[in-house]
C-alpha cells in the first residue's frame, strides 16, 4: 500500500505542530526567582473574601518557609473530596492572593495537583479547574498580584 504525498505532508505538519506546542510549554527555569531564606512571620493582609474565609490555615502557613516565587508561601487546603484551593502569602508585605479557581479530578498518577518551586514563579496545575468537564495541565505565572495563564494542554474527552 502506498501512502499519498498529501497524507505524508499532513502527518509531517501535525508532528511539527505537536513539537512546536510542546516547546511552547513554560518550564520552571523560564520564570526564575531568587529565594529569600529568612523572614519574619508577616502580619497577614487578606486581600480577598476567599482568603478571609480561610484565615486560620493561611496564618498557620505564614509561619513556614518560602516555597514559591522567591518570597511567597503557597498554601493549599481541601474543599471537598479530591478538591483543593490555594493562596500565596507575600512574606515581605503579608498580602495574600487566592488562586482564582479550585482544582479537582487530577490524574490518578498525580499525587499533588499543584506543582511549584521556591525559585520559580511558575505554577503547574493538573486536573479540572472549578470542577469543569475540561481536564488538562495549565501553566500559570504569578507576578505578585495575579496568576496569569501562559499555556495549557487539554486532555481529550473520555
CA 92 from centre of chain: 22
Residue 29 pairs with which residues in a beta bridge?
Answer: none
pTM (2 decimals)? 0.82
Distances (CA, A) of 43 to 65, 87, 94, 96: 15, 15, 5, 10
pLDDT in tens, the chain (158 residues): 454 544 434 444 444 344 444 458 999 999 999 999 888 999 999 988 888 999 999 999 999 999 999 999 999 999 988 899 999 999 999 999 999 999 999 988 888 999 999 999 999 999 999 999 999 999 999 999 999 999 999 987 65
Amino acid at each position: 500500500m502506498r501512502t499519498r504525498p498529501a497524507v505524508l505532508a499532513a502527518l509531517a505538519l501535525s508532528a511539527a505542530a505537536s513539537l512546536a506546542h510542546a516547546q511552547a510549554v513554560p518550564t520552571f527555569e523560564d520564570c526564575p526567582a531568587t529565594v529569600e531564606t529568612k523572614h519574619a512571620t508577616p502580619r497577614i493582609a487578606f486581600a480577598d473574601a476567599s482568603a478571609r474565609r480561610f484565615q486560620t490555615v493561611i496564618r498557620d502557613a505564614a509561619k513556614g518557609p518560602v516555597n514559591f516565587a522567591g518570597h511567597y508561601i503557597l498554601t493549599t487546603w481541601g474543599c471537598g473530596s479530591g478538591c483543593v484551593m490555594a493562596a500565596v502569602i507575600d512574606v515581605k508585605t503579608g498580602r495574600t492572593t487566592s488562586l482564582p479557581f479550585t482544582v479537582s479530578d487530577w490524574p490518578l498518577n498525580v499525587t499533588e495537583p499543584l506543582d511549584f518551586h521556591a525559585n520559580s514563579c511558575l505554577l503547574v496545575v493538573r486536573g479540572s479547574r472549578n470542577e469543569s468537564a475540561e481536564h488538562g495541565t495549565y501553566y500559570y505565572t504569578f507576578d505578585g498580584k495575579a496568576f496569569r495563564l501562559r499555556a495549557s494542554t487539554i486532555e481529550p474527552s473520555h
